[in-house]
Each structure stands twice: as C-alpha cells, then as structure tokens.
C-alpha cells in the first residue's frame, strides 16, 4: 500500500496505526458518530412526541398541512423512482461495457452507490418533513401556553431532527458504501482498492445530487406558486391578512414551507455534505491518513452539534430579535469551538511524525469553519431589517413598487462582493497551506457543524407555519405576537442558511472539479483554447437558463393558483365574509401537479448537458463548462437569495415594527409586490443553482474514468445520445405543459373595494 499523503510527505511509520489501517478502521469513528446522530434524532423525535398538540381546530389545520406535504412528496417520488431506475441501468451499462475497464463489477458498484445515495437523500427529506409538520402545531401550542422560549425550543427541536438525520444518513451512507464497494476485487492491490472505492462513491453523490435537484426545484416551485398566489389575491386584491383561513391558497402556502424549505433544504445540504467528503477522498487517492481525515472530522462535527443543541434557549420572555438570534447562535458557536478542538486532537493522532503537514490541513479546516460563519454574517447584514440595506428598500417603497424592485436588485448585486472576497481568501490560503486537498478539507470543515446549522435553518419554516396555524385558528393576539417574533427570526436564519449553502456549494464544487481533473488526467487547462472557452461560455449560460426556467415555472404555477383563488372568491357565496369554507384541497392539488411537471425540463438540462459536452468534445471542454457554471452560478445564486431575503424582510420591517405607517399603507403594498418578486428569487431559483453546480460537478466526476486520457472529439457519437434526449424531452415537455393559457376559463380579478363583486 502506498503511504504517500496528499502533500507528498512520506508516512514515517508505515507499519503502525494509522498508516496501516484497513477499510473498517478508516470508517470506524464515522460509523460510531453516525449511529450516535441517529440516536440523537430518535431522542429529539420522542421529545417532540411528548409535547401537546392543542385544540381540535389547530390539529385539523395541522393535519391538512401534513396531508398536503405527504401528497406532494408521494407524487414527486413517483416521478423520481422512474428516473433512479433508468439512471442506475445507464450507469451499469456505461461501466459494464466500458472497453477500458477490466472490472466488470464496476457497473454494479456504481449503480448500487447511485441508488443508495438517492434513497438516503429522499429518506432524509421525507422523515425530516414528517417531523417538521408535527412540530408546527406544537410550536403554536407552546407559544400559547409556554411563551417565547417554549415555542423556540419546540421549533428548534423540530429542525434539529432534520439536521441530525441528514448528517447521520450522509455519513453512514458514505462510510458503509466506501467499505462495500471495496469488496470483490480479487487481483487489485490494497492501495488500488482504496482508489477504486473513492471513484465509485462519485455515483453516490450523483444519486444524492439528483434527488436534491428535483426536491429543491419542485419544492421551490410549489412553495412560491402558493405563496405568490396567496399574497397577490389575499393581501393586495382582497385586502385580507396573511394566513387568513378565507384564502384558499393559505394551506398550500404552509405546505410549501415544509416541502421547499425543510425537505428541499435538507436534500440540498445532504448533497453538499456527502459531496465534500467524496471530493476529499478522491483527491487523497490511496493515502490512508488523507482518506481517514474527512470521515473523522465529519464524525466529530456530529458530536459537536449534539452538544451545541443543548445550549439553544432564552430566558427573557420579552427578548428582542437580537437576543433571539444570539439564542440560536450560541449552539452554532459552541459546536464550532468543539469542532476546532476535536480537529486538533484528530490531527495530533493521525499525523504523528509529520506534524507540519497535519497542522497545515488543520488550518484549512478552521478556515472553512470561519468562512461559513463570515458568509452567514454577511448574508445577515444584507437581509436583516436591523441593517441599512433592508431599510433602504422600505424607504424606496415611498415612491412605489418599481423603485422597491430596483433597490432590491441593486442590494442583491452588491451583496455578492463580500462572500466572493471571503471565498477567494479561503481558497488562496488553503491552496498555500495544503493544495487542492486543503481546499477540499476546508469544505468538510465548513459543513462539519451541519447538524446544528441545518437545525437553525429548518426552524424557520416551522415557526412560519406555527404563525399560520395561530391565525387560522383565531387564537389570542399574544400567540400571534410570539409566533411573529419567531417567524421574523426565521426569515433571518433562513437567509443566513442560504448564504451558508451557497458558500459550501462553491467550495464543494471546486473540490469536485479538482477531483475530476485528477481522474480525467488533465494537468493544465488553457482558457484561450477554443474548446475550453466554448465549454466555459456554455457553463456560464446554464445557471441563467436554469434560473429562467424555474422563474417561469413559478409564474405559470402561481398564475394557476391566482386564477383558482379568484374563482373561489367570485363563486363561493359567503367566502369573503367568513361564513363559507374555502376549498384549499384544490389549491394543494394545483401546486402539486404544476411543480412536479415543471421540474422535468430544468432537471433534464442539468443532468444531460455535462454528459453531452464530456462525451462529445472531451474532458477539457467539460472542465471549462464546470468552471463557467461555478462562477456564474455562484454570483447569480447570491444575488437572487439576498435580494429575495431583503425584499421579504423589508415587508416584515413594516409589518412588525410599524415602519412607514405599518400594514395597509401604500408603502406596505409596494413592499408586498417586491416580496412577491423576491419569493421565487430566494426560495426557488437561487437555492436551485447551488445544486446545479454541484450536480454537474459530481456527474463529471462520475464519468471521468470513461473519458480520461481521450483525445478531443474521440467519442462524439456517444454525446449524441444525451443531445437527442434533450431535444426530444424539450419537445414533449413543451407540448404537454408549456403551451396554451394557464387555464381555459380565466377569471377576472375581483374588485376588492366593492365587496358585492365577490359574493
């Protein structure tokens, strides 16, 4: 076995631990921590089970939300099962019939990794969503009977179940598959087996990325179609409060919070978590210590996050937004400090005799952690109404919705500066300290505390739904005041989480790009070379195409919701007065059907474009494609996420703080319009771009052995297969879903000033 570590410094004790560790020893700590994380999820779930659910009315509303969320995921997964089966067969054929490969079982290994990665990603999303929908109504009840801290604890516990499930499934899945795919090699040396196992894990990341893409896109389209439809007809046209039970789209809006911001975000970061580990394993090649390190650091992060969970809470029942934010930050800070301590101990154990190498990599781990925190803080500055950027948007509302949109776009664009500087410094320092392996380890470090970071993010939609249930159940004002405070905090943590997700996606994608170059046998890429430049141009265009498709999908689905809500207000007597019940099931069905149909085309382009470029032109062009997509995708994602978050909190600033005259004013209505534009920015298109750049990078790594060391255009005929599928798929989707009006019987908007027009 080779004992050369990633930095090329010989291991001085090749016959002793850790240099002589076998596969089970490599993953041992990861298995222990993964199981511990599952026990933590089980403990938190049982804790939630013991909490009261409130009145029958509250439970009825909650059950509708849960039923809608389940219905959506069942429909979505019915589409995805077919995709997983077809792709698994394609991977099997690709490696079974590969003339270069002498290991015919590689087809089975890659297919198995793909299926397991997809299954675990879908399972994490499903289980986390089920717990979140249970926590919604319990948060409302806690706000009524226990106050601010009790409600905070319930909502955060619901989010923590999702957090620990994601990291546990991810670490256990990667660890076990790393061991399993290494079995069955009869003639290969032990060092070759380590390399082959890491290569096959790219398919695990491919499976996780695919589910994440569809979950993020479909969930994002669902939640924003319902949200936009509910806001435009309810708030603007009908002048009724948010989450008013008379609005038929309110239940669908609450369902969307769960399927988009819980299941979707969980799948997104599950992909980043496993992708960062896989990239590091590939770059480590056959170095045992280099392979062990990402497993052990990720494992220590689960333990640290579990400790950090118990520090979240607040004593002051009248706490300000700043105090509430600090109550959540305490857990993340504690977890981050513990990871640094654990990382120092792990480096001391694993790098005996070559301490200089170990401490250089340790520096990269810390840099990744710090970068994640700083990007979160920068995002908070641009999206929290405690700071100038958001308040400037509210000021712009004095001259109408157009200036609100203009100001928000400007804020979103300028918000790209700080994260880019942070990531650039991190990449340069890590490259200086430990090369490409160090950059990959910085990504592992950033995501090491994902258990509690994701809990903080998933807390937001739970608090939002709790407020919706309080409004629909007509509970006392103090309940809604409590849930509003938690919801406003959730908007900030969600925006911060999106910034963190973008930063981790960029570092993960860069690591995967470096791993692809290594496996494809590419030493130098010349950007002036025509095929590389063409690849970069196409890659730079793809995020814009992807964002455009998802934005158009939201517009189309939201249009269908708007038409339906208008129809119900016009045709159901007594709905406006509250004497009749809205048909919320119809809006849920429209959102479910629209979002699952609209996810097909973006997914088709995201998966098939790198296959087309890689097989048709070659590895260098594919490298250019990935580089172009990472750069433009990052900028567009930051701009859209931060602009959307700023528009949202400008509206909240007016509603919660009473700024600019408070609710119902012309300034408020202008900011509602801005928030409507920002909704698909921050919850659909922006977050989906994270997955786009990671998915294309992991696909490139998956096919790298098939195109390695090949001449440009050598296998162009294989590239015609994904091209034909894209063309035919586009034609079918266009004819089935994109042509024609939103509905065959559009309903004119009712006149909210004349109530008789809606009866």
- pLDDT-derived band of residue 752, with 50, 70 and 90 as boundaries? very low
CA distance 477 to 479: 5
In tens, the pLDDT along 18-71 reads 766 677 788 889 999 999 999 999 999 999 989 988 888 888 888 888 888 888
* pLDDT (0 to 100) of residue 732: 81
583: three-class secondary structure by DSSP: coil
Task: Select, from the ranges 31-40, 198-207, 230-239, 275-284, the one with the highest average predicted confidence (pLDDT).
Answer: 31-40
* pLDDT (0 to 100) of residue 11: 63
On whether the CB atoms of residues 276 and 438 are closer than 8 A, the answer is: no
CA distance 377 to 382: 9
| pLDDT at residue 747 is higher than 70 | no
Is the previous residue joined to 18 through a cis bond, with omega within 30 degrees of 0? yes
Which position has the token pair 């609100």? 404
- pLDDT-derived band of residue 432, with 50, 70 and 90 as boundaries? very high
Which string of b and e fits 283-322 if b means at least 16 CB within 10 Å? bbbbbbbbbbbbbbbbbbbbbbbbebbebbebeeeebebe
Encoded tokens for 311: 């520090």
| pLDDT at residue 118 is higher than 90 | yes
Per domain, the residue ranges of the chain are 31-520+535-743
- pLDDT-derived band of residue 636, with 50, 70 and 90 as boundaries? very high
DSSP string for residues in 265-316: HHHHHHHHHHHHHHHHHHHHTT-HHHHHHHHHHHHHHHHHHHHHHTT-----
- Higher pLDDT among residues 737 and 84, named by residue: 84
| pLDDT at residue 687 is higher than 50 | yes
* pLDDT (0 to 100) of residue 7: 53
Which position has the token pair 């993020």? 216
How much is the average pLDDT of 261-280? 86
| pLDDT at residue 740 is higher than 60 | no
The pTM of this model reads 0.88
* pLDDT (0 to 100) of residue 413: 95
């Amino acid at each position: 076995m080779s004992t050369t570590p990633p930095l090329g410094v010989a291991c001085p004790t090749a016959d002793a631990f850790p240099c002589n560790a076998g596969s089970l020893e490599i993953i041992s700590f990861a298995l222990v921590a993964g199981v511990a994380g599952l026990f933590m999820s089980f403990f938190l779930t049982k804790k939630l089970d013991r909490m009261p659910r409130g009145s029958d009315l509250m439970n009825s509303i909650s059950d509708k939300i849960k039923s809608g969320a389940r219905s959506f995921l069942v429909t979505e997964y019915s589409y995805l099962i077919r995709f997983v089966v077809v792709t698994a067969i394609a991977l099997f054929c690709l490696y079974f019939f590969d003339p270069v490969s002498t290991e015919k079982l590689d087809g089975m290994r890659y297919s198995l990794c793909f299926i397991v990665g997809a299954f675990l990603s879908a399972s994490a999303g499903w289980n986390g969503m089920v717990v979140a929908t249970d926590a919604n109504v319990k948060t409302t009840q806690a706000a009524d009977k226990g106050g601010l801290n009790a409600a905070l604890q319930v909502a955060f516990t619901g989010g923590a179940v999702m957090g620990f499930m994601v990291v546990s499934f991810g670490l256990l899945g990667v660890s076990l598959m790393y061991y399993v795919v290494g079995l069955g090699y009869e003639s290969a040396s032990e060092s070759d087996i380590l390399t082959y196992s890491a290569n096959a894990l790219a398919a695990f990341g491919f499976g996780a990325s695919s589910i994440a893409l569809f979950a993020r896109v479909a969930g994002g389209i669902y939640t924003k179609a319902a949200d936009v439809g509910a806001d435009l007809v309810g708030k603007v046209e009908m002048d009724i409060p948010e989450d008013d039970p008379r609005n038929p789209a309110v239940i669908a809006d609450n369902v969307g919070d769960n399927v988009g911001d819980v299941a979707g975000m969980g799948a997104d970061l599950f992909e980043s978590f496993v992708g960062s580990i896989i990239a590091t394993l590939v770059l480590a090649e056959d170095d045992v210590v280099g392979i062990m390190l990402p497993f052990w650091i990720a494992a220590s992060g689960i333990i640290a996050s579990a400790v950090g969970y118990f520090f979240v809470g607040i004593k002051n029942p009248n706490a300000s937004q700043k105090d509430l934010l600090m109550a959540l930050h305490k857990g993340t800070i504690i977890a981050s400090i513990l990871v640094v301590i654990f990382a120092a101990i792990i480096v001391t154990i694993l790098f005996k005799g070559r301490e200089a190498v170990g401490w250089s990599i340790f520096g990269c781990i810390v840099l990744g952690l710090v970068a994640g925190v700083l990007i979160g803080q920068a995002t908070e500055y641009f999206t929290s109404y405690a700071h100038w950027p958001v308040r400037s948007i509210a000021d712009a509302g004095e001259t109408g919705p157009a200036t609100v949109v203009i100001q928000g776009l400007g804020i979103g664009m300028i918000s790209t500066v700080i994260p880019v500087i942070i990531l650039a410094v991190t990449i340069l320092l890590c490259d200086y300290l430990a090369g490409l392996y160090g950059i990959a380890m910085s990504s592992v470090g950033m995501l090491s505390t994902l258990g509690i970071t994701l809990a903080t993010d998933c807390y937001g939609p739970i608090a939002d739904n709790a407020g919706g249930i309080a409004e629909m159940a007509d509970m006392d004002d103090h309940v809604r005041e409590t849930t509003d405070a938690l919801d406003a905090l959730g908007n900030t943590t969600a925006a911060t989480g999106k910034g963190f997700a973008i930063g981790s996606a960029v570092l993960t994608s860069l690591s995967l790009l470096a791993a692809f170059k290594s496996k494809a046998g590419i030493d130098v890429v010349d950007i002036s070379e025509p095929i590389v430049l063409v690849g970069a141009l196409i890659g730079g265009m793809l995020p814009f195409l992807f964002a455009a498709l998802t934005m158009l999908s939201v517009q189309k689905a939201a249009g269908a919701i708007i038409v339906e809500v208008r129809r119900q207000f016009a045709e159901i007597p007594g709905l406006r007065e509250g004497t009749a019940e809205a048909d919320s099931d119809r809006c849920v069905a429209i959102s479910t059907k629209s979002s699952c149909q609209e996810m097909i085309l973006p997914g088709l382009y995201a998966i098939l474009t790198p296959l087309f470029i890689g097989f048709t032109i070659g590895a260098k062009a594919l490298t250019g494609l990935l580089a172009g997509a990472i750069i433009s995708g990052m900028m567009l994602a930051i701009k859209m996420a931060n602009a959307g978050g700023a528009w949202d909190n400008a509206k909240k600033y007016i509603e919660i703080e009473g700024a600019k005259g408070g609710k119902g004013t012309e300034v408020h209505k202008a900011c509602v319009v801005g928030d409507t534009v920002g909704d698909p920015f921050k919850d659909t298109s922006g977050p989906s771009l994270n997955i786009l750049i990671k998915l294309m990078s992991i696909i490139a790594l998956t096919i790298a052995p098939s195109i390695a060391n090949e001449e440009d255009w050598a296998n162009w005929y294989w590239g015609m297969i994904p091209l034909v599928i894209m063309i035919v798929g586009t034609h079918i989707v266009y004819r089935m879903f994109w042509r024609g009006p939103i509905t065959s019987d559009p309903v004119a908007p009712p006149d909210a000033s004349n109530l008789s027009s809606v009866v």
